[in-house]
Structure 1
Amino acid sequence: MAVTLFVLFVLLLSSHEADGILRFASYYGDHMVLQKSPERAVLWGYGPEDAHVFLLLIGPTNQKASPVNVTKGIWRVTIDPVEAGGPYTVIVATENSTATLTDVLFGDVWLCGGQSNMYFNMSQIFNASEELAIAAKFPHVRTFMAGLIESKTELTDLTKVELPWAVPTEESVAPFSAVCWLFGRYMYKYLNYPIGLVESCWGGTPVEVWSSSRALKHCGLEEPEDGPKGNSMLWNAMIHPLLNMTIKGAIWYQGEANTYYHTDEYNCSFPAMIDDWRMAFHQGSGGQTAPDFPFGFVQLSTDRKGSADDGFPDIRWHQTADIGYVPNGRMKRTFMAVALDLPDETSPYSTIHPRDKQDVAYRLTLGARAVAYYEKHVPFLGPFPQQILSAATYVNITYDQNVSVTPSKVIFEICCSGTQDPCGPTSKWVQAPIVQWGPTTVQLSAQLCPVTDVVAALRYAWRDWPCDFKACPIYSASGILPAPPFLINHYPGEDNIWIN
C-alpha cells in the first residue's frame, strides 16, 4: 500500500518536472547495472538546494529510502542491499520534479581501465563478426563507456559519456572494449547473474596519468605535465568521478607506454596506483566498495620480434612488483593474465595490438574466479620456479606444479660471473638450452659459461617477443597457462640451492 501511494505521489509531482533540476549523475542511466548484495549501491545526482529527495526502488523487491537533503546542489542515497536480478525502476522525486531510471539490474560491476589494448574494440578482434553476432544472447551483460576527457583538477562527475548504458546488440558492443566485454561475458556464463562493465581507458597513456597525486608522491614522481599524458590528468577526469560507484573489482591492460617512460619506477607506481584506487573507491562509496577489491591485469603481450632490451621484459617484471607472480605480499588480491605467448605478427593495427583478446579475457576470468570469487582448485597461475639448483654444467629448475615442456635452446638464459655483483638485464647473458625434463622439473645446460665462472642468475622469456603464438616451452600440465617470465639472481659463494 505504501509503495502504491508513493508512486501516485510521484506521478502527481511529475507534472511539475519542468520547474525543477533534479537529475542523476552522468554515469547513471536506463539499462544500467548496480552492485548487488551484500554491498549497497550508491545513487547520487543533482537537485535544488535544500530540497528533500525521496527514492523508490520498484521491481522484484520494493524499497523506499529515507529522504535526504540536497546539499551544495548534490543528493546522495545509499540503498539497502539488493540481490542479483531485476529489472527495477528507480525513481527520485522532490516537491517539484522527478527523475527515473528504467530496466535497472543488480549484479557485479567491474571497472575496465588502461590504454590502447583495453580500448581495442570488439570490431577489431579475431572472429569479430561471429563474436558480435552472439552479443544479443547476453542481455544481462550491460556496458558503459566514459568519454575521453582530461582535467588538471579532480572532477566530481564525468563531463563526457562516450557510450551510455546499453543492452548488448551487435551495434552497441562493436565499439566497446574487447577485453572488457569478453571478460564480462565469460564471467556471466560462470556466475549466471547480471554483470555491469564500465570502460574508462585511453590509448598511449602511462600509468602516471591514471594515478592520483598521492600515489605519485609515494613513488617520488614529478608534477603534472599538460595534455592527456600529464600526471593525474585522467585520474582527475575519468576515474575520480566514478569513486561514488560501488564496484566489485577492476581489470587493467596497460604498461606499453611505460616501456619507455619511467620504466624503472613502474614496480612502485603500478602497485601504488592499485592501493590508491582501492582506498579512494572504498571511501568514495561510503565503505561499500571493498578496501581490497580484486584487481586483475594483463601482463604485456608483444611488440617487436627479435628485440630484447626495449622495456617490455622490464615492465612485465615490474607489473608483479618484481616478484614474478601475483597475488603476492606486495600485491594482494590481484590476478594476472600472462599474454606474452599471444603475439600477432600480421595485426593490421600494428603488432603492439594483437587481435586475440579471447584468450586474454579467458585467462583473466580464471584469476577472477580464484581471487574475486574464492573458487577453490581453479587453475589460474602458470608454472613458477619453486627451487633452483645450480652446478658447473647444468641448472635444475623444480616448478611449483606439473609442467608441459617443449624443448627450446633460446628462451632460458644464464648470466655467468665470478664477481659478487648481481646480474641484470644489461649483463652478459648466454643461452641455456633445455636438455631434460620431468613432471615438475626442467634441466638446462650451463656449458656456455666459462669454466672460471658460475651461474650467477637465471632468466626466462626475457625479451619482447619470446615465442610464437601459444608456442612457449613451459606451460601448465593442461597446456592452457603459460609460465610467466622471471629474473632470479644468485650470488657466487652462496648455497647452490637458490630458492625454496
Structure 2
Amino acid sequence: MKKILILTLCVCFCAVSFAQEPVKVACVGNSITYGIGVANPDKDSYPAQLQRMLGEKYKVERFGKPGATLLNKGHRPYMQQKEFKDALAFAGDIVVIHLGVNDTDPRNWPNYRDFFISDYRALIDSFRVVNPKCRILIARTTPIADRHPRFESGTRDWQGEIQLAIESVAKSAHVQLIDFHKPLYPYPYLLPDAVHPNEEGASLLAKTAYEGITGNYGGLKMPELFTDNMVLQYGRPIDIHGTANAGDKVTVTIGKQKQKTVTGLDGKWRVTLHPLAAGGPYTLAVSTAERLLTFNNVLAGEVWLCSGQSNMEFHLNWSATAKQDVPNAANDQIRLFDQKERWRTNAVEWPVSVLDSLNHLQYYKDTEWKVCSPETAGKFSAVAYYFGKKLQDSLQVPVGLICNAIGGSPTEAWIDRRTLEYQFPAILRNWKQNDFIQDWVRGRAALNVKKSTDKQQRHPYEPCYLYESGILPLEHFPVRGIIWYQGESNAHNKEAHEKLFNLLVQSWRKNWNDAELPFYFVQLSSIDRPSWTWFRDSQRRLMTEIPHTGMAVSSDRGDSLDVHPKQKKEIGERLAAWALNRTYGHRNVVPSGPLYKSVSFARGAAYVSFDYADGLCTSDGKPISTFEVAGEDELFYPAQAVVEDGKIKVWSKKVKDPKIVRYGWQPFTRANLVNGAGLPASTFRTE
C-alpha cells in the first residue's frame, strides 16, 4: 500500500512538473530586440510585452545585442557576442530572430552581402543543433525612416535587398517568416530616432510575434468594404480575401459558386471567384468553423473609385442642379460607399483629443455601402454621382461608387510611401517647411495641429497620409477604374506636380495590380489665379504622356471668385464620356472637346489641328475668342480665329511671322471653342 502511494505521488509530481514546464521562447536580435528606444527595456521591450501576451505557459527571454549584425564579417557579428552564447545555452523551443538592420551600415552590406544568406543559415543551424525540435521564426526587418541620415546614400536600397534575402532564407531553410516591417511602416512617428520603435511600436512587434507563434489572428475578419448592399466588379475574376486564425478552413459562397481554402501561417486567406453576371441581388457568405459572415443585397456591376480634393468631395446638395436632381436620386442599381473625414481641414486649431487619432490613421469615419437615395446621394460627391448615373443609364448594369476625397489635399498625400521614398524622397523631408509643398497646404496643416507637442505629429496633408489612411484600407478591392478631381493644392509648382501625378497613377495601378487601370481626371477650372493657365496646360500634356488616362475640361464652368464652381453635372458627365468611350468601347460617345494636336504656319497665319474636332464652332454663336499668337520674341497679341477646312486659322496684324499659338490663356477664361458634341476645347500653348 505504501509503495502504491509513493508511486502515485511520484506520478502526480511528474505530471504537475510536466504541466508547469513552460515553452521557452528565445528572442534573438539587435538593439530593437534588446529594447533601445523604450524607457524600460525589462518592462517594455518587445520580448517583455510578448511574455505578457503569451502568459505563464511560455518563458520568453531576450537576447538582443545593440549594434549586432547578422553578417559574420560585419562590424559586430551577433554570432561572436555573449548574447548568442546565452541564447544557445537557453536552447529555446521557439526562436524568434530579428537581425539585418545594422547590416545596412556602409561598413557591412557593400562588402559582405554575398555572405548574408549563408551566415543566416549558419545562425539557424546553430539553434537547431542545441534543440533539434526547435521552431524558428525569422522576421523581415523593422523600417528605417526617411529621416535617417544615410537613408538615400544606401540604407534605403540595402534594406530592400536585405528584406529579399531574408525571404529567401525563410524558403530555403524551411522556417516561418514573420513581418516586423509592415506593422510599423505606415507609422513613422513610432520610430522617434528613425530606427528604434518606442513602446507602442514594440507592442506591434510583440503582437506580430504572438500571432506568428500562436496562429491566433482574432478569427475570421473581412476588409471594411465588405458590407450589405455592396457592389462587386462583374465580368472578371473576383478576389475575395481576409484574415482568420492560422490553419482555419474558410468557405466562400455566392450564387452557385463555392470556394474553399485554408488560412496560412500569416493569418491570410484568399480565393478567386469566377466572374459574376451583372445584376443580383446575391448573398455572399464567408465562414470558418467558428464564425459565419453573411453579406446581403449584393450586386455585381461596375465599381469606380472617386477621389481627390474638395471639388470631388463637393456634395450633390450644394450643386447648381440639386433642387431637381436630389429628389429624383432614388436608384437601387447605384450603391455608394462614402468615406468621410472625422475632422474637416478648416482654418481652425484641432483639439488635443484629435491628435493621437490622426497619428493612428483614424481619419475616416466608419461607413458602409448604402443604396442610392435622395438622402444618401445628397451628401455624396456631386461629380461622382453624375458620373455614376450616366454610366448606369448607359450600361444598364449596377454601379458602385467609392468616394474618399478630402478637401485641400495635395497629390503627395495620396501616394504610397515606398514610391515617394524611391522616386521623390525630397518631398518627404521636413514636409512642413518643404517648398515642394504648397505654402497654403503647409500653413493649414500647421494651424490644425498647432496644439501638438509631437515633432512627428501627422496631418492628412502630409505626404503618404491619405494613401495610408484612405487607400490601404480598401485592400485592393476590385474596381474598374478611377476618377480624380484634384490639383488646386499643387498648382504653385507644375513641375513638381507633373512628377507627382505620374507617381500617383503608378502607385494606384500597382496597388490594384493593373497597369492599364483607367484614370480619368478633371482639368482645373477657371478662377483668377495666375498659375492656373500653365497648370491646366500641364494637365493636358500629362494626359498625352500617361496611357489609359483622359481629361475632362471644366474651364467653361469655372467661377472667377469661387474655387468650388457649382455646375458639377457637366463635369461628372464629361468624365463618364471618357469611361464610356475608352473603357466600355462606346465609340459613338465623344469623350472630349477639341484637343490640340499640331500647328503649321503659312502666309502669316497659324493653322491649328485638333483631335475630336468634328463640328468645330463656338458655344455662344459669337466669333472664336481668346486665341493669341507670338513671334520669336514670345510677345503675345490677341488674334482672330476662324474655322477653315476642319482646322482653326489664327492670325494677328501685329505678328507678321507667328511661331507660337495659345488659347484660353487666362486664369479665368471665356474661351468659347467647342466641337459638335458641345464639349469645350482645353487651354493649350504650342511649343
TM-score (structure 2 length as normaliser): 0.58
Q: 2:319, 2:566 within 8 Å by CA — same for their partners in 1?
A: yes
The yes-or-no answer on 1:142 pairing with 2:335 is yes
Residues 120-269 of structure 1 mapped to structure 2, 5 A cutoff: 120-136=314-330, 138-148=331-341, 160-216=364-420, 217-219=422-424, 221-223=426-428, 225=431, 226-260=458-492, 262-269=493-500
Residue in structure 2 matching 1:456, options 646, 649, 659:
659
- Deviation of 1:458 (Å): 1.2
Q: State the one-letter code of the partner of 2:636.
A: W
Partner of 1:41 in structure 2? Answer: 238
CA separation of 1:159 and 1:446: change in aligned 2, threshold 3 A = closer
Q: 1:27, 1:158 within 8 Å by CA — same for their partners in 2?
A: no
CA separation of 1:437 and 1:95: change in aligned 2, threshold 3 A = closer
CA separation of 1:56 and 1:265: change in aligned 2, threshold 3 A = same
The yes-or-no answer on 1:433 pairing with 2:632 is no
Q: State the one-letter code of the partner of 1:205.
A: S
Q: Which moved more, 1:160-169 or 1:392-401?
A: 392-401
- What is the rounded CA distance, in whole Å, between the counterparts of 1:117 and 1:249 in structure 2? 19
Partner of 2:276 in structure 1? Answer: 82
Partner of 1:16 in structure 2? Answer: none
Q: Secondary structure at the match of 1:319?
A: helix
Partner of 1:396 in structure 2? Answer: 607
Q: Secondary structure at the match of 2:521?
A: strand
Structure exhibiting the larger radius of gyration computed from Cα positions: 2
CA separation of 1:89 and 1:384: change in aligned 2, threshold 3 A = closer
Partner of 1:25 in structure 2? Answer: 223
Map Cα deviations across residues 346-382 of structure 1 (whole Å, 9 max, x no partner): xxxx611111111011111111011111222421122
Partner of 1:303 in structure 2? Answer: 527
- What is the rounded CA distance, in whole Å, between the counterparts of 2:390 and 2:623 in structure 1? 33
- What is the rounded CA distance, in whole Å, between the counterparts of 1:415 and 1:221 in structure 2? 37
Residue in structure 2 matching 1:96, options 284, 287, 290:
290
Q: Secondary structure at the match of 2:284?
A: strand
The yes-or-no answer on 1:366 pairing with 2:563 is no
- What is the rounded CA distance, in whole Å, between the counterparts of 1:110 and 1:371 in structure 2? 14
Partner of 2:536 in structure 1? Answer: 316
Q: Secondary structure at the match of 2:384?
A: helix
Map Cα deviations across residues 323-345 of structure 1 (whole Å, 9 max, x no partner): xxx4x3x2111112111111245
- What is the rounded CA distance, in whole Å, between the counterparts of 2:680 and 2:364 in structure 1? 39
Residue in structure 2 matching 1:116, options 310, 316, 320:
310
- What is the rounded CA distance, in whole Å, between the counterparts of 1:461 and 1:487 in structure 2? 9
The yes-or-no answer on 1:336 pairing with 2:551 is yes
Q: Secondary structure at the match of 2:509?
A: helix
Q: 1:251, 1:297 within 8 Å by CA — same for their partners in 2?
A: yes
Q: 1:27, 1:161 within 8 Å by CA — same for their partners in 2?
A: no
- What is the rounded CA distance, in whole Å, between the counterparts of 1:45 and 1:399 in structure 2? 49
- Is there any run of 5+ residues in structure 2 with no aligned partner, and where? 1-217, 344-354, 432-457
- Whose helix fraction is larger, Structure 1's or Structure 2's? 2
- Deviation of 1:41 (Å): 2.0
Q: 1:411, 1:431 within 8 Å by CA — same for their partners in 2?
A: yes
Map Cα deviations across residues 428-487 of structure 1 (whole Å, 9 max, x no partner): 4222233x43351322232223x6xx42321111122111xxxx3311024x11111111
- Deviation of 1:202 (Å): 0.5
Percent identity of the aligned residues?
28
- What is the rounded CA distance, in whole Å, between the counterparts of 2:511 and 2:609 in structure 1? 41
Partner of 1:381 in structure 2? Answer: 592
Partner of 2:631 in structure 1? Answer: 416
Partner of 2:516 in structure 1? Answer: 292
Q: 2:224, 2:473 within 8 Å by CA — same for their partners in 1?
A: no
- Is there any run of 5+ residues in structure 1 with no aligned partner, and where? 1-19, 283-289, 490-500
- Deviation of 1:272 (Å): 2.4
Q: State the one-letter code of the partner of 2:239.
A: V
Q: 1:267, 1:320 within 8 Å by CA — same for their partners in 2?
A: no
Q: 1:392, 1:446 within 8 Å by CA — same for their partners in 2?
A: no
Q: 1:415, 1:457 within 8 Å by CA — same for their partners in 2?
A: yes
- Whose strand fraction is larger, Structure 1's or Structure 2's? 1
Compare relative contact order (CA 8 Å, sep 6+) and give the higher one, 1 or 2: 1
- Deviation of 1:179 (Å): 0.8
Q: How many residues align?
A: 427
Q: Secondary structure at the match of 2:228?
A: coil
Partner of 1:474 in structure 2? Answer: 673
Alpha-carbon RMSD across the aligned residues, in angstroms, is 2.8
- What is the rounded CA distance, in whole Å, between the counterparts of 1:93 and 1:159 in structure 2? 30
Q: 1:268, 1:321 within 8 Å by CA — same for their partners in 2?
A: no
Residues 52-71 of structure 1 mapped to structure 2, 5 A cutoff: 52-57=249-254, 61-69=255-263, 71=265
Q: 1:149, 1:237 within 8 Å by CA — same for their partners in 2?
A: no
Q: Secondary structure at the match of 2:372?
A: coil
- What is the rounded CA distance, in whole Å, between the counterparts of 1:127 and 1:301 in structure 2? 18
Q: 2:245, 2:263 within 8 Å by CA — same for their partners in 1?
A: no
CA separation of 1:74 and 1:156: change in aligned 2, threshold 3 A = farther
TM-score (structure 1 length as normaliser): 0.79
Partner of 2:7 in structure 1? Answer: none
Q: State the one-letter code of the partner of 2:234.
A: K
- Deviation of 1:156 (Å): 12
- What is the rounded CA distance, in whole Å, between the counterparts of 2:476 and 2:594 in structure 1? 39
